[in-house]
Structure 1
Amino acid sequence: PIQRERASGTPAQLPGCDRVKNMSKKHVWYVVLAEFDLIEGSVIRRQHPEPTGAADNFLAEAMLPEGSHSRSEDETVFMLPKIIIEGKSGGKAAGGNEKAPRPVLHCLSCFLAKKDDKVKRGSVTKALAVCSPHTFIHAFRPVIRLALKELFSPISKADPKAHELRIVQELYDTLNGLTLPSAYPLPPIHESLYRAARLREAHNRPFQDLDLKITWRSRDISTRVPAIVGEDEIGQVKLINLLKRFKTGFMKIFNAILLERRVLFIGHNLPASEVCQHVLAACLMVSPPLSGVKERVFP
Structure 2
Amino acid sequence: MPYPLGTHVTHILLAEFDIDRGSSLAHQYPEATGTDEGLLAELMLPDGAHLRTEDWTIFFLNQKIPDPDKISTDNNDNETPLLYALNLVRTKHDKGARRGAIVKAMAICTRHQYLHIYKVN
Which of 112, 115, 121 does residue 99 from structure 2 map onto? 121
1:32 and 2:13 are equivalent in the alignment: yes
Task: Give the structure-1-normalised TM-score.
Answer: 0.34
The structural deviation recorded for 1:24 is: 6.1
Aligned pairs for 1:148-167 within 5 A: none
Q: Deviations over 1:36-60 (max 9, x none)?
A: 1111111100000001111111101
Percent identity (aligned)? 39
Report the equivalent of 1:233: none
Q: Deviations over 1:184-209 (max 9, x none)?
A: xxxxxxxxxxxxxxxxxxxxxxxxxx
1:137 and 2:97 are equivalent in the alignment: no
Report the equivalent of 1:56: 37
CA contact (8 A) 1:34 1:45 kept: yes
1:77 and 2:58 are equivalent in the alignment: yes
Report the equivalent of 1:94: none
* Structure 1 SS opposite 2:107: strand
CA contact (8 A) 1:35 1:42 kept: yes
Aligned mates of 1:82, 1:66 — CA distance in 2: 22
* Structure 1 SS opposite 2:99: coil
Aligned mates of 1:36, 1:106 — CA distance in 2: 22
Report the equivalent of 1:161: none
* Structure 2 SS opposite 1:102: coil
Q: Deviations over 1:45-80 (max 9, x none)?
A: 000000111111110111111111111111111111
The structural deviation recorded for 1:119 is: 1.1
* Structure 2 SS opposite 1:53: coil
The structural deviation recorded for 1:102 is: 2.9
Which of 65, 71, 79 does residue 101 from structure 1 map onto? 79
Aligned mates of 1:68, 1:37 — CA distance in 2: 13
- Higher helix proportion: 1
Aligned mates of 1:82, 1:57 — CA distance in 2: 17
Aligned pairs for 1:182-197 within 5 A: none
- Higher strand proportion: 2
CA contact (8 A) 1:82 1:101 kept: no
Q: Which amino acid aligns with 1:49?
A: P
Task: Give the structure-2-normalised TM-score.
Answer: 0.80
Which of 65, 88, 97 does residue 110 from structure 1 map onto? 88
What is the aligned-residue RMSD (CA, Å)? 2.1
Give the unaligned 5+ runs of structure 2.
Answer: 65-77
CA contact (8 A) 1:36 1:43 kept: yes
* Structure 2 SS opposite 1:35: strand
* Structure 1 SS opposite 2:119: helix
The structural deviation recorded for 1:82 is: 5.9
Give the unaligned 5+ runs of structure 1.
Answer: 1-22, 84-99, 146-299
* Structure 2 SS opposite 1:138: helix
